Structure 1
């Protein structure tokens, strides 16, 4: 067996949960700009890779190959070391982002490490994959993608994930979030809310300019937010939803690392 074949065989024998985590960014402290923990002071760990290709993705660099040279394969201890080097003791919450972190079984080791150190964790995923470590996350946001994304929802898989999260202990929270660009997206969100009426639901303004470089970026986002508020107020079946902006884009546009 050649050295190349031997290395390949050794790699294949590594348990998925023991593999390093492909990381693109570690940054903060900053605020969480979306969903159920909007405004929360947090650190971010952004992983590489996604099973979706949303047309308006604001983090396409996690899957389109444009940032492949920036991916680092890090252990959980490596990530913890970098978090504390950057922020010291100025954080008690970590958001695991992507891409889709739920592609990675090895994140379970990171979650255990963080929680052993008293750090709360949050994650957002589209609800297309299940990992057992989701049971240990303090705040899970499921964000199924609406028609404007160009993606198709696997309702059977989403049903399964919602049910598993519903069976967690009461100190663990989860919610649904749908990004809204137009009326079709709003109809999709109504369908999601009708299907899972017991799950807290958040609507978020879509961001069509993923660079955030246009002069009227903030005014455009606020106009969209006003439209979404007005439409939601008209709908009796959406009385229990919360309508949010993408807060960080109002402050920093789509600048990375904030």
Structure 2
């Protein structure tokens, strides 16, 4: 998949919601979900974002799910106007760039993010697969927090160890970053050892989130047992300072 290089972007949706994952769990965010992803993780609950669509949906009123449909691609001024509409005083804690894989739109974001920060004054949070370090470099100075989804091959079907390490090295010590690991009952000891080794080598202070996989309809990974999660947390804490277990909380409250 090629990078988007124009001043337009293919979107999936823009909406206001409670962040359900990672270190920002429980906070209110404006979500900008980009279309297109170059990964095919087995556990993905957003497979509809893998390919860019001809349309996107935009929430008219924050949190009301009163979506209207618009044609893709979207120009940056149009997207800015939608963010202004969402940005009510004191409501949101930050803006989430999610997907799909937002870094496929790095060229667009390089132009867009300074304008976004100027009109909202909100922190920018990037949710990413953490496998595109070159594209991260283009927008790193505009980001405030990065949630990196490190792919365990036994759970995701993807192997991106070298790119993950380079990605973290670029983040540290410039930006707040945490690593999220999706774990299932099929997670292997070798994958966990490799993940811990990479993170600890870059910095033992990087927070790690162990996120039990959420079951999907059909043939999907099975969540780990409580005993597995407890053991894995202990294993990571032998080398890292902060290791938390956080499931997808937004699904617990029916916010899909």
Range into which the TM-score falls when normalised by the shorter chain? 0.7 to 0.9
Equivalent residue, structure 2, for 1:52: 39
The structural deviation recorded for 1:237 is 2.7
Instruction: Please say if 1:143 is aligned against 2:146.
Output: no
Change (3 A) 1:17 1:69: closer
Does 2:78 match 1:78?
Answer: yes
Q: Which residue of 2 aligns with 1:162?
A: 168
Structure 2 spans left out of the alignment, 5+ residues: 57-70
- Shift in Å at residue 226 of structure 1? 3.7
TM-score by length of 1: 0.76
Is contact 2:11-2:73 (8 Å) kept? yes
When the two structures are aligned, how many residues end up with a matched partner? 224
Unaligned runs of 5+ in 1: 1-14, 212-219
TM superposition shift of 1:58: 0.5
The corresponding residue for 1:4 is none
Q: Distance in 1 between matches of 2:180 and 2:233?
A: 17
Superposition map of 1:1-258 within 5 A: 18-28=6-16, 30-64=17-51, 68-70=54-56, 72-89=72-89, 90-105=91-106, 106-117=108-119, 118-130=121-133, 131=135, 132-146=138-152, 147-153=154-160, 155-168=161-174, 172-185=175-188, 187-197=190-200, 198=203, 199-209=206-216, 224=224, 226-227=226-227, 229-235=229-235, 237=238, 240=241, 241-252=243-254, 255=256
Residue 247 of structure 1: how far off its partner (Å): 1.0
Task: Flag the 1:133–1:193 CA change in 2: closer, same or farther, 3 A.
Answer: same
Q: Which has the higher helix share?
A: 1
The structural deviation recorded for 1:195 is 1.7
CA shift, 1:100, in A, is: 0.5
TM-score for the superposition, normalised by structure 2 = 0.77
Deviation at 1:228, TM superposition (A): 5.0
What is the CA–CA distance in structure 2 between the aligned matches of 1:31 and 1:59, rounded to whole Å?
A: 17
Contact kept in structure 2, 1:33 and 1:247, CA below 8 Å: yes
Which has the higher Rg, Structure 1 or Structure 2? 1
Aligned partners of 2:18 and 2:181: how far apart in 1?
A: 20
- Offset of residue 41 of structure 1: 1.3
Alpha-carbon contact 2:127-2:147 (below 8 Å) kept: yes
Q: Any conservation in 2 of the 1:179–1:185 contact (CA below 8 Å)?
A: no
CA drift at 1:174: 0.8
> Are the equivalent residues in 1 in contact too, given 2:18–2:25 (CA < 8 A)?
yes
What does residue 65 of structure 2 align with?
Answer: none
Provide Cα deviations, 1:113-172, integer angstroms capped at 9, x if missing partner: 12223111101111211321033210111112112211122x22222221111142xxx3
DSSP 3-state at the match of 2:41: coil
Contact 1:17 1:108 in 2 (8 A): no
TM-superposed deviation, 1:19: 2.2
